[in-house]
A and B are shown apart, each in its own frame.
Chain A
């Protein structure tokens, strides 16, 4: 009985330690990566594969693939996934909380600073220049994404329709996202039906 209790207590302790490690590793990941996105992968890899051995390099590749087809930031996806792998749902909660907290605290503090200084003339001039730079950054991300897009007629059609609907007809972007997923499924269904039919005819 005593032994069972001891091993239970030990288990609890190691579970607590794992939760704390998840929180602190992902806190560091959240604190030291700027700009988010794939820029976070090297640090995620160092913290979770090299230092802790929680997951393997192959797992990281899988996580990137999953993150691309699930909503939300890749850092949150990775935190939830690895947290779950290491310590179940509580692990997910600790890891996600860890990755979110640095941004939250920093932006919360900054929002007061921004409010305080936004009427200073130099700051307004700076932001006037910065807005032109930000537009360039967004154009760059568009070019990067366009390069990765499959070069098919249907892709170009969807790009054009999505663009016109939101830019000129003020359609809510959410409907465009839902609609495009449905079109993707229907179109692929059509193609695969046609393919099987042709295969049969060949035989």
Chain B
């Protein structure tokens, strides 16, 4: 049963993720986090793993969550699910290539979809930001805790770095923040 559910969930995610990459995050949040298959922290950790391993984000994500939930078969059906929509759609498009390319409706639909994806990623940032900065929920004493200010500083530095120097490879940024995390964690004996 879980296999069928994995397949169907990732089929929906594959069908409605336009723009690739992080555009998938809002779908994962609506479809996977809501089912509590994995938690927020695991999701964000895995984004970093996916950035540092080969292959598209969507495939990595589906394999990981599928394997967590249903072993190797789970990984297979989730991956099949996420790939199948684009496979089918491209086969259809390949046949009616010119019609698709010149279609007004596709262009019009995209004119609404593109900005929506931006709003969706914005929403994903809010939700991920909550997990990053307030892992134990939002309370007044968050603002007196060292981990909060450390993550905030690290986030601001990373954002400035990557926006200012576009050539910085994501993997380098991940390595830097891992090193800072380990150093700060041991130096301040942060609770885990």
A residues near B (Cβ < 8 Å) are 30-37, 40, 62, 65-77, 80-81, 84-85, 89, 92, 96, 99-100, 102-104, 106-108, 110-111, 114, 121-122, 124-143, 145-146, 148-150, 154-156, 158-167, 172-174, 176-185, 187-189
A141 contacts B22, C-beta separation under 8 Å: yes
Chain B, 90-131, contact with A by CB distance < 8 Å: what is the 0/1 string? 110110010011001111111111111111111111111101
Identify A30's interface contact among B55, B90, B178, CB under 8 A.
Answer: B55
A68 contacts B108, C-beta separation under 8 Å: no
Chain B, 65-101, contact with A by CB distance < 8 Å: what is the 0/1 string? 0011000100110010011011101110110010011
Q: Knowing A35-B51, A62-B101 touch, does A125 contact B59 (C-beta < 8 A)?
A: no
Tell me the nearest residue of chain B to A84, going by C-beta.
Answer: B94
Q: List 6 A-B contacts (CB under 8 A).
A: A37-B56, A67-B20, A81-B90, A92-B87, A103-B55, A134-B177
Interface size on B, residues (CB 8 A): 108
Identify B16's interface contact among A125, A138, A140, A177, CB under 8 A.
Answer: A177
Instruction: Describe A's contact surface by its main secondary structure.
Output: helix
Closest CB pairs A-B (n = 4): A129-B181, A184-B112, A72-B86, A103-B55
Q: Which residues of B contact A65 (CB under 8 A)?
A: 101
Q: Which residues of A contact B22 (CB under 8 A)?
A: 138, 141-142
Tell me the nearest residue of chain A to B153, going by C-beta.
Answer: A132
Q: Knowing A132-B155, A177-B113 touch, does A76 contact B86 (C-beta < 8 A)?
A: yes
B18 contacts A177, C-beta separation under 8 Å: yes
Chain B, 156-192, contact with A by CB distance < 8 Å: what is the 0/1 string? 0011011100000011011011111110111000101
B125 contacts A159, C-beta separation under 8 Å: no
A-B contact count (CB 8 A): 384
A136 contacts B184, C-beta separation under 8 Å: no
B residues near A (Cβ < 8 Å) are 12, 14-22, 25-27, 29-31, 41, 44-45, 47-60, 63-64, 67-68, 72, 75-76, 79, 82-83, 85-87, 89-91, 93-94, 97, 100-101, 104-129, 131-132, 147, 151-152, 154-155, 158-159, 161-163, 170-171, 173-174, 176-182, 184-186, 190, 192
Tell me the nearest residue of chain A to B173, going by C-beta.
Answer: A133
Q: Knowing A73-B59, A184-B110 touch, does A163 contact B123 (C-beta < 8 A)?
A: yes
A108 contacts B44, C-beta separation under 8 Å: no
Q: Knowing A131-B151, A133-B158 touch, does A100 contact B118 (C-beta < 8 A)?
A: no
